[in-house]
Structure 1
Amino acid sequence: MVARCATFPILVTLLLFRVAHSIRCQHSKHCKTDDPKLLGLCAPRHRVCFTIPHPARQATEDDDHDDEDAPLFVSSSELIEEANADKLSVAAKRDVIDAVKTIYMNINPHRFLHENLLKIDFPAALDSIDITEEMTNVEFHENMMNAFQLMDDYHSVFVSPEPLRSSVATLGFVVAKFFEEGSRQRQYIVNDLLAELIPSNSSFGIGSELLLIDGVPIDKHVLTLGKNSPASNLAAQIDFGIFLVYFRYLSTDPIPFSPTVDIVYLTTEGIRKSITLPWFFAKLNTQEAADTMSHAVHPAAYQPLHGRPNRAVFSEADKRKLYEEVTAEPLDITTRVVENGRVPIEVSSEFTERFTAEVILTKSGLIGRFVIPDFGARVSLGLALEIARILRLMPLNGLIMDLRYNSGGDGDYAKVLAESLVSETVPPNPLTLRASQFLQDLLLSADTKNVTAEEFAPFPPLIRALNTSLAIGEQFTGPILDLYSSEFRERFVPRAYFGPVITLVDGMCYSAGDLYTSLQKDYGFSRVVGVSDNVGAGGASVYRYSQLAELFPQKIKKVESEFTTAFLRFFRSGTSKGAIVENFGIKPDVRYYPTRNDALSDDCDLYEFLGSMLKDMREEKDETGIEPEEFDATPEEEPTPEERPTLEEGETPEE
């Protein structure tokens, strides 16, 4: 039997209004649906629910295939056949490759890194792609996706055509990594599944430990998948590779061309067995579902979340209201019973897709947990008020800001959240961009007749900076813009939480999630704890090619494909002033190695560890009267390359 963490129901005092019936999904069990035709599935990267058809449901002549609520399961061959319906011509394929070269060989700041540091030959990969009529549409896009993956950059992705773009593939289970006590060898265990997709007479289920996938040792399989993903560092490749073992967003992830997967595993009793499972493919036919799906894998795939959306205008009266409400008397205290040590806090319906929160009872006392799956929301007075309201409900013993799987978004949102936790004004991070004659021509030719004053404001300093850099032969401009919009350069929100804070990250935390993490570490706002060795390493702003074609129609022509590019990147500030985030990331202050109990019991050991850490931080503050600069528990030493677990005889993971 697998050991479970002890739970202890107890009467406690909580700052709560009401207890929510559910929180944003962490497992598919949170996504149950009453419709017998459908299954609720938790998107593991973004922790949002969507529905897929029940496998027992068979298509009949009476089925309404336009029924958006019940899309049918399809095969990969059917999806590919549809994607090839409007086959690209040789000329169209050549236009796509030329468009990619135009953008990436001229204005993308990553090229400097790749040529001088990473030694990646992206142009050669593009030149090697076959564009003949014999190549199918899907083969062409698959090769383009593979070429983009060579850049090891989440911000640079090639997006597949419909219907692949709005389709998913799943094996019906979820995998988590864990480490045995005293070991640094990664192990992989099933911690969630859709029972309807797994044979009922099989011993394969929650608690099964994976050993081999299609005859390949699981760790090597994970590393291979991660290396062939856009992830930019080893930590991100491992975490992304685990995700790709069992789930694919076909908009940007590899298509599983083999219909089945052979799995060798250990049962919960330690018996070695094997099972063959099919990939289940489902089309998400509504635009709303497609958008939800795309956010989970890459925010820029459909919406420019990394850009600068239109801002709400905040009046002085709005700011006064925010300060009055946040600094008002404390909220009413309600006594409740904590079941299993966890109580979710209800979030206003307008923001249930933005964050979740809960109170956790640990042996070190009550702690809060605030989960930010992305920074994609438009910053508004309502958002700031709701963040403050939730933070004021949290126990002052300590707070976990959980940014695991955070897929990025808006820098202004990250600043507002950071300032809600500290008394200081969060300073801006400087932005820079690659200097090229092509980019200068683009900016000079931009049609700015119909843009707003705020949209136009960046153009003059950009052009001045480019002129200077080109004149003296610099590869990059100097710092040219603040990362934040003008109204957020000064402090906007009051502090709403006054206890010690820990920022929790993994290798999937990315972009604006990395920005928030860098602010926490570089200014000592909170301690950064990682369940991986690094974050996703994204420090840039994204544009889609189609957006560039709309902005610069005289210079860039539209093509029959979509991809994204990072044109601005930000530097770290504070104690790490001048350091690059893009591709390099941020090392956590403390490395935590998830246990088997964490994988099977909702991170219970992790929260006990963080509860103890917060208690030490609180006691240190009580003794000194100041925030602790260092957490006195030194993280365990990382293994040297020679100590890393071998994959095969004489083979080690590539750094």
Structure 2
Amino acid sequence: MTRGEPYEPYPDHGGIMGRVTAETPPEYLSQTAEPVREHLAAATQLETFLAGAGTLTLEQRMLLVDQALVLLEQNYVHLPLKVAMHAVNPVQRLRLIRRQLEQQTAATMPPEWIFHSEMSKVFHSVRDLHTNYMLPAPFAGKIAFLPFRVEETTDGPRPRFLVTRITQGFSAPGFAPGVEITHWSGIPIEQAVELNAARFAGSNVAARRSRGVQSLTVRSLSAHLPPFEEWVTVSYKGADGTARELRENWQIVNNLPPMAGPVGEAALVMGMDYEADEISRANVMLFAPHVVEQQQAVDSGQAPEAAAGEIASTMPQVFTARTVQTPSGTFGHVRIHTFSVDSADAFVQEFVRLIGLLPQNGLIVDVRDNGGGLVWASELTLQTLTPRPITPEPFQFVNTPLNLRICRSSRSLSPWVPSMEQAVETGATFSAGIPLTPEFRANEIGQQYFGPVVLITNARCYSATDIFAAGFQDHGIGTVLGTDDNTGAGGANVWGQGLFLSDFPVAASPYRPLPNGAGMRVSIRRSLRVGDRAGTPLEDLGVVPDERHRMTSRDLLEGNVDLMARAGELLKAQPVRELTIADLTRANGSLRLKLKTANLDRVDVYLDRRPRTSVDIPDGQADVTVPGATSARTVRVDGFARGELVASRIRPL
């Protein structure tokens, strides 16, 4: 609030003026959207929640430290990189905590939150959102939230922080989407964001700042300690220019449950930012309850009802598909909210179905805020957007005796064993790089969309989404349009401590069950880029976009209108291809193809991956006859323009 502006205080929803207790929750919680109303009505205030926290014994604290030492010292693939890049020593810090515990008794040990704080600091020090200390009960599965969302815009001379979403039922004088936040509990808002960012483990500056904004109003209590303050005082300017203050209590509630995760070998190829997944589900609950209703319909076997302007998806928590109007034309837009699914094949099938229902002259694939998930889902999707063969990213273990024992115990990990055994002689830090996604699977269905494609990223893209963005850029699929300077830079496959415990019963296993539902995760295999950037690690570096767009206030408040306009400009500048097998017949041992084409001048035809014919073709329709096709099982038609492969179509016979 600047000097001379009118000041209008606003009574809070749970502070000194009419304090709200657990027995009298804020009124707005009873007015939230019906699909989540009962869930949110069970929220409690931070003070009430913390009164029941703190049951770990001294022995249980020691067990947690010991297990953290095993994971970080013997399994954590990025430890050499993090020690060098960030000048940290998490292993030594854990040893010091262990020594301090040995000098304590049940009577003298500090409050449990101090122990959790120390453990969290160790894991956050490596700035790796894959590597987490997950708090035990009663924190596990809970979120802390305020009933609105704040986002940053840089379309003026200085950054501004606007309220962009408000939970249904909440109101305050002059408080609506578009109001500008000036101070946060008395701290200038930009400084408050920077202080928040310093507490979170983003791998680069852009990622940390993005987390600093996000964590103003919603936090996962599994991944972080609860807020230190029981309430916040928000200073804001309304649309009429009046400066006001709002005092709002933090509320604690169970998060929406995660989607069912993969099992078996698929569980070993996850790449997900745990906290981002938690926050994504919390934002659905608070600001997009219609998605909860759609998912309930799917779970009950009913067809979900699409929101206005959208195409109904069988995976409403995963995809949002729609047509967007821009000054450059009408294009398709598909938002991929997460790769966290139990089936990569089902994911790809639904993606292909949705993009087939969208305009074919240009596609915007939007992965902002996507924290990752199943690596197979991200890498198998790439082939649908390009004629070029996909080379999956290779992954490496750090060479330690324990990692070698783990790889020897599993058939699926045996390809890494020879190089890890050789490292005993060579002293190599990392194993050989071997893909998680089989190359034949990354190319078995081929291109499904033939118009130009733009990929939109931001600093909250992480893990499997980093891998997707890197593959998109490394294979030249289209332009990467970023709203931040980097993606989140999480290039790894992540395993939880429970996975080590259950799936790898090696002799004299050092893994032990964790108390009270506590958890730990580490990056186990790091990923390397391919193509022109082959061998470059994704971790800490991320994907630098080809084009940069600064989010405007119109973007934040009017459905990304300027961002879509910029994406439309990029799409309009690219040619639209077509390669359709309109008819396919066999006669006298030959295969006759009737093709519909656009912006192609040649096609090559392959039967069962063997080249059979190459013909020049005009735009429009063309008939191609391929002899010797009696026993062929698949046909692939590659389309070229001026000698460059620009389209490809695969059909089973």
Structure 1 length normalisation: TM-score?
A: 0.72
Q: Partner of 1:147 in structure 2?
A: 122
Cα distance change, pair 307–220 in 1 and its aligned pair in 2 (3 A): farther
Q: Partner of 1:81 in structure 2?
A: 51
Q: Partner of 1:248 in structure 2?
A: 219
Deviations 1:487-524 (A, max 9, x none): 615x1223221111000001111111011100111111
Q: Partner of 1:466 in structure 2?
A: 420
Q: Partner of 1:457 in structure 2?
A: 412
SS at match of 2:258: helix
- In 2, are the aligned partners of 1:429 and 1:572 still within 8 Å (CA)? yes
Cα distance change, pair 143–500 in 1 and its aligned pair in 2 (3 A): same
Q: Partner of 1:332 in structure 2?
A: none
Letter in 1 for 2:499: Q
Q: 2:460 aligns with which of 501, 508, 525?
A: 508
SS at match of 1:149: helix
1:138-217 to structure 2, matched below 5 A, reads: 138-181=113-156, 183=157, 185-194=158-167, 196-199=169-172, 202-217=173-188
Cα distance change, pair 142–365 in 1 and its aligned pair in 2 (3 A): same
Letter in 2 for 1:484: T
Letter in 2 for 1:113: L
- In 2, are the aligned partners of 1:226 and 1:241 still within 8 Å (CA)? yes
SS at match of 1:83: coil
Find the structure with the greater CA-based Rg: 2
Cα distance change, pair 195–343 in 1 and its aligned pair in 2 (3 A): closer
Q: Partner of 1:31 in structure 2?
A: none
Cα distance change, pair 71–404 in 1 and its aligned pair in 2 (3 A): same
Q: 1:484 aligns with which of 429, 434, 437?
A: 437
Matched, 1:307 2:268: yes
The range that moved more, 408-417 or 148-157, is 408-417
The alpha-carbon deviation at position 70 of structure 1 amounts to 6.5
Letter in 1 for 2:424: L
Cα distance change, pair 393–274 in 1 and its aligned pair in 2 (3 A): same
SS at match of 2:127: coil
Q: Partner of 2:522 in structure 1?
A: 565
- In 2, are the aligned partners of 1:177 and 1:188 still within 8 Å (CA)? yes
Equivalents in 1 of 2:384, 2:421: separation in Å? 39
Deviations 1:588-631 (A, max 9, x none): 111100111111111111111111221122389969985999xx
Letter in 2 for 1:410: L
SS at match of 1:51: helix
Deviations 1:421-475 (A, max 9, x none): 111221121111101123224444x4x6xxxxxxx1322x222111111211111
SS at match of 1:262: strand
The alpha-carbon deviation at position 303 of structure 1 amounts to 12
Q: Partner of 1:104 in structure 2?
A: 72
Q: Partner of 1:599 in structure 2?
A: 556
Equivalents in 1 of 2:461, 2:231: separation in Å? 30
Equivalents in 1 of 2:84, 2:155: separation in Å? 39
Q: Number of residue pairs matched?
A: 511
Equivalents in 2 of 1:344, 1:628: separation in Å? 38
Q: Partner of 2:352 in structure 1?
A: 388
SS at match of 1:587: coil
The alpha-carbon deviation at position 146 of structure 1 amounts to 2.5
- In 2, are the aligned partners of 1:416 and 1:492 still within 8 Å (CA)? no
The alpha-carbon deviation at position 304 of structure 1 amounts to 10
Letter in 2 for 1:92: Q
Q: 1:290 aligns with which of 230, 238, 257?
A: 257
Structure 2 length normalisation: TM-score?
A: 0.73
Q: Partner of 2:310 in structure 1?
A: 344
Q: 1:527 aligns with which of 479, 482, 487?
A: 479
Cα distance change, pair 476–545 in 1 and its aligned pair in 2 (3 A): same
SS at match of 2:349: helix
Matched, 1:518 2:470: yes
Cα distance change, pair 412–153 in 1 and its aligned pair in 2 (3 A): same
- In 2, are the aligned partners of 1:160 and 1:250 still within 8 Å (CA)? yes
Equivalents in 2 of 1:441, 1:305: separation in Å? 20
- In 2, are the aligned partners of 1:157 and 1:230 still within 8 Å (CA)? no
Cα distance change, pair 70–366 in 1 and its aligned pair in 2 (3 A): closer
Letter in 2 for 1:407: G
Q: Partner of 2:635 in structure 1?
A: none
Letter in 1 for 2:142: S
Cα distance change, pair 40–581 in 1 and its aligned pair in 2 (3 A): farther
- In 1, are the aligned partners of 2:143 and 2:220 still within 8 Å (CA)? yes
Equivalents in 2 of 1:524, 1:245: separation in Å? 37
SS at match of 1:594: coil
Matched, 1:375 2:339: yes
- In 1, are the aligned partners of 2:345 and 2:377 still within 8 Å (CA)? no
Cα RMSD after superposing both structures: 3.0
Deviations 1:2-25 (A, max 9, x none): xxxxxxxxxxxxxxxxxxxxxxxx
Q: Partner of 2:242 in structure 1?
A: 271
SS at match of 2:215: helix
SS at match of 2:321: strand
Q: Partner of 2:203 in structure 1?
A: 232
Equivalents in 1 of 2:421, 2:213: separation in Å? 45
Q: 2:32 aligns with which of 39, 51, 76?
A: 39
Cα distance change, pair 196–259 in 1 and its aligned pair in 2 (3 A): farther
- In 2, are the aligned partners of 1:163 and 1:283 still within 8 Å (CA)? no
Deviations 1:45-66 (A, max 9, x none): xxxxx7255xxxxxxxxxxxxx
Q: 1:538 aligns with which of 464, 487, 490?
A: 490
Equivalents in 2 of 1:604, 1:342: separation in Å? 17
Equivalents in 1 of 2:264, 2:144: separation in Å? 22
Higher strand share: 2
Letter in 2 for 1:164: F
Cα distance change, pair 306–226 in 1 and its aligned pair in 2 (3 A): farther
- In 2, are the aligned partners of 1:442 and 1:555 still within 8 Å (CA)? no
Q: Partner of 1:335 in structure 2?
A: none
SS at match of 1:224: helix
- In 2, are the aligned partners of 1:198 and 1:277 still within 8 Å (CA)? no
The alpha-carbon deviation at position 222 of structure 1 amounts to 1.4
Q: 2:252 aligns with which of 281, 291, 298?
A: 281
Letter in 1 for 2:64: V
The alpha-carbon deviation at position 359 of structure 1 amounts to 0.3
Deviations 1:364-401 (A, max 9, x none): 11111111111122345544333222111221231110
Q: Partner of 2:90 in structure 1?
A: 122
- In 1, are the aligned partners of 2:450 and 2:576 still within 8 Å (CA)? no
Unaligned ranges ≥5, structure 2: 1-27, 271-306, 578-597, 602-639, 645-653
Equivalents in 1 of 2:642, 2:90: separation in Å? 47
Deviations 1:238-258 (A, max 9, x none): 111111001112111331131
Matched, 1:92 2:60: yes
Cα distance change, pair 283–382 in 1 and its aligned pair in 2 (3 A): closer
Equivalents in 1 of 2:114, 2:138: separation in Å? 14
- In 2, are the aligned partners of 1:540 and 1:569 still within 8 Å (CA)? yes
Equivalents in 2 of 1:124, 1:426: separation in Å? 42
The alpha-carbon deviation at position 543 of structure 1 amounts to 0.8
The alpha-carbon deviation at position 485 of structure 1 amounts to 3.9
SS at match of 2:74: coil
